Amino acid sequence: MAITTCIFDAYGTLFDVAAAARIAASEPGREAFAEKWPQIAADWRAKQLQYTWLRAVSDTHCDFWKVTQDGLDYALEAAGLQDLVLRERLLALYWELSAYPEVPKMLAALKAAGMKTGILSNGSPRMLSGAVESAGIGDMLDAVLSVEKLGVFKPHPSIYRLVDGHFAVRPKQVLFVSSNGWDAAYGAHHGFHTVWVNRAGEPMDRLPTSPQHIMRDLTDIPQLAARL
């Protein structure tokens, strides 16, 4: 069954989640932060994700902006930088994340080939709207789907079913792309064709299923979608 629909995770897949910390580190007067920003960015992202999983399994859902703030607070405290001005600057920059360089051309190629495109993300609708607008890719997306519709984070099975219902497709008609190996794995468990965008060269997660394809960036997604 041919692929008709390409769905992307947002943060870390289309949008560079390290951009907020990287930009702040380049600003005058932030020398102390500049020395530690890569570790802070890594801790921020790790805790952001961990808090989604913990809230999902404990049935204590909140929106993604809350776990984004909580993750940052942990990361700054771990680095010994409890600076409220820096905190507010980093959070402001998170609303202006840039897309990875290959994203606009990749999405344009998918649309030119007649594919439906969309986002499936833990992000709240308001956060996703800001990111899409900041990156200038709104006209290349047919839908932006948020877990807030269901009130539970990935990888709950109901989240992946949002795609089936919205686009009126069978899972095998969908190519699902995520920078999180666990997300791509559970997308595969749902029945999607999946790609893990493994930019950092990390090992495969040990889970019941695995993504069928691994890429270092998004450049070749249109070619893969056309072959499947």
Instruction: Name the catalytic one among 9, 16, 63, 183.
Output: 9
What is the secondary structure of the chain as a DSSP string?
----EEEE--BTTTB-TTHHHHHHHTSTT-HHHHHHHHHHHHHHHHHHHHHHHHHHHHT----HHHHHHHHHHHHHHHTT---HHHHHHHHHHHTTPPBPTTHHHHHHHHHHTT-EEEEEESS-HHHHHHHHHHHT-GGG-SEEEEGGGTT--TT-HHHHHHHHHHHT--GGGEEEEES-HHHHHHHHHHT-EEEEE-TT-PPPP--SS--SEEESSSTTHHHHHHH-
What CATH topology corresponds to 5-15+98-227?
Rossmann fold (3.40.50)
Residues 64, 127 contacting (CB under 8 angstroms): yes
Cα–Cα distances (Å) from 209 to 14, 71, 99, in that order, read 23, 28, 28
- As averages over each run of 10 residues, the pLDDT of the chain (228 residues) reads 95 96 96 96 98 97 98 98 96 95 98 98 96 95 97 98 98 98 98 97 96 98 97
Query: Is residue 16 among the annotated active site residues?
Result: no
pTM: predicted TM-score of the whole model, two decimal places:
0.96
β-strand partners of 145: 120
Q: Longest C-alpha distance within the chain, in Å?
A: 56
Domain ranges of the chain: 5-15+98-227, 19-94
Q: Do 5-15+98-227 and 19-94 show the same overall fold?
A: no
pLDDT value for 1: 74
Determine the pLDDT at residue 32. Answer: 94
pLDDT value, residue 17: 95
Q: Which residues contact 153 (CB under 8 A, 6 or more apart)?
A: 52, 53, 55, 56, 61, 64, 122, 147, 159
CB proximity list for 28: less than 8 A, separation 6 or greater: none
For residues 124 and 121, give the distance between their C-alpha atoms in angstroms, rounded to a whole number: 8
The span from the CA of 179 to the CA of 53, in Å, is 16
> If one looks up domain 19-94 in CATH, what number appears?
1.10.150.240
